[in-house]
Amino acid sequence: MIYKSDTGLTREELRNALQTALAGRTLRKVLLLPPDYTRLYSGAGILTAMLYDMLKDTCEIDIMPALGTHEPMTEAEWTAFFGKDVPFERMIVHNWRTDVVKLGEVPASFVGEVSDGLVNSAIDVEVNRRIVDTSYDLILSVGQVVPHEVVGMANYSKNIFVGCGGSSMINSSHMLGAFYGMERIMGRDHSPVRKVFDYAQTHFLADVPLLYVLTVTTNTGDETHIHGLCIGSTRDVFEQAVALSQQLNLTHLKEPLRKVVVYLDPREFKSTWLGNKAVYRTRMAIADGGELVILAPGVRKFGEDAENDRLIRKYGYVGRENILRLVDENADLRENLSVAAHLIHGSSDGRFSITYCTKELTESEVRGAGFGYIAYDEAVKRYDPAVLRDGFVTLPDGEEIFYVSNPALGLWTVG
């Protein structure tokens, strides 16, 4: 089922669509898998609240945000995202390092085939143990389809294998994407990582009662517009969402950009692990020798957990070739390949400069990680997010920049 609206589906239309999807099912126990607060503009918060309201009087409901490697949601974030009527006590925290089971593996021969021989090792298929808990009559995976740096287009089975996945699968899939190259992946459906997830879903989740609730959104300020709602269990539902997102969330520019300024909403972006979407999503639009300035008032750390943060501080965003060498030389990086992939993704490989403008990270911390630095309060005197509007902007002194208010909702490219 797909529901579309040029201006955004109304709450009544959304509720009717969910009721249709649930009609005729006998449900005693349900698991909801929404994204976390870092997907603030996904529309998944309101959909999860609607599902909880529909089901709470007739069945037991567990809610496990698809955290992946992210830190758990706070109660304030939970309430801001889902509303006051979804109890914080219903939250189950996914632990990607410990709370998983291995279902099998994607064969090395298959991985080699889909990666053009760049990666030739098997990939473990690990998911949170609740995904295969037969006491659930239905598992509802709720989330947004949007361009993504690892898998090409986010969500669908990524919500299971990364959002609710284990360290081995997360590490291997991220490094597969990094080896293959972001520019060959972002904004596309059939990437090597997606093919690995498709294989895993077909071979290991066939008996799991999964129903995907996929959104395609844009935003105006804090208002999210759900232009597409795609509900179903088969891949064609995802493909319909991909086609719509490619229309709405990709910006094609005529010429490479010399200077890009990106704002990171402090509610959504507290680490460079997340904030480097400013790098990922604009890199294909930035000219050689260009500049990327990242306004990051809420960024206070590098990794989303202590170990990832330590490794990023230790090795820094030093470019693809250096990271590949460091992986060969250092066991701690080999054991955390998702960090290695992230460090590759977050570097421009010297093609353009990246300057972080922070309030909480110090200049020495930022420069130590391989970025340029401007104090946030100094940067906003020139690049004020309260004044700037998305797209091309000419500043009072004549400098022309390209401004992006939320990198998580799009992909910018030339051609």
CATH number of 2-248: 3.40.50.11440
Quote the pTM value: 0.90
DSSP 3-state helix, strand, coil percentages of the chain (rounded to 5)?
Answer: 35, 25, 35
DSSP assignment of 258-270 equals EEEEEE--TTT--
* Ranges of the chain with pLDDT below 70: none
What is the helix (H) or strand (E) element at residue 148, kind and residue range? strand 147-148
DSSP assignment of 156-205 equals TTHHHHTTTB-HHHHHHHHHHHHHH-GGGTTT-S--HHHHHHHHHHHHHS
* Residue 18: CB atoms within 10 Å: 21
Q: Which CATH number fits domain 251-414: 3.90.480.20, 3.90.226.30, 3.40.640.10, 3.40.50.12500?
A: 3.90.226.30
* Strand 223-232, strand 2-4: pairing: antiparallel
pLDDT at 305: 86
Task: Calculate helix-pair angle for 167-180, 337-345, nearest 10 degrees.
Answer: 30
Give Dmax (Cα) for the chain: 65
Taking phi first (over 0 means left), then psi (-120 to 50 degrees means alpha), and beta for anything else, what does residue 291 get?
A: beta
Decide: 48 and 39 in contact? Cβ < 8 Å: no
Decide: 319 and 288 in contact? Cβ < 8 Å: no
Instruction: Name the 3-class secondary structure at 24.
Output: coil
pLDDT at 57: 93
* Residue 271: CB atoms within 10 Å: 24
Residue 332 CA neighbour count, 13 Å, CB half = 9
Rounded Cα distance between 38 and 31, Å, is 20
Structure tokens at 184: 């060959």
pLDDT at 1: 86
Decide: 263 and 238 in contact? Cβ < 8 Å: no
Task: Calculate helix-pair angle for 320-329, 337-345, nearest 10 degrees.
Answer: 160
The domain ranges of the chain are 2-248, 251-414
pLDDT at 129: 96
pLDDT digits (tens, 9 = 90+) for 315-362: 999 999 999 999 999 999 999 988 999 999 999 999 999 999 999 999
Structure tokens at 398: 């004549």
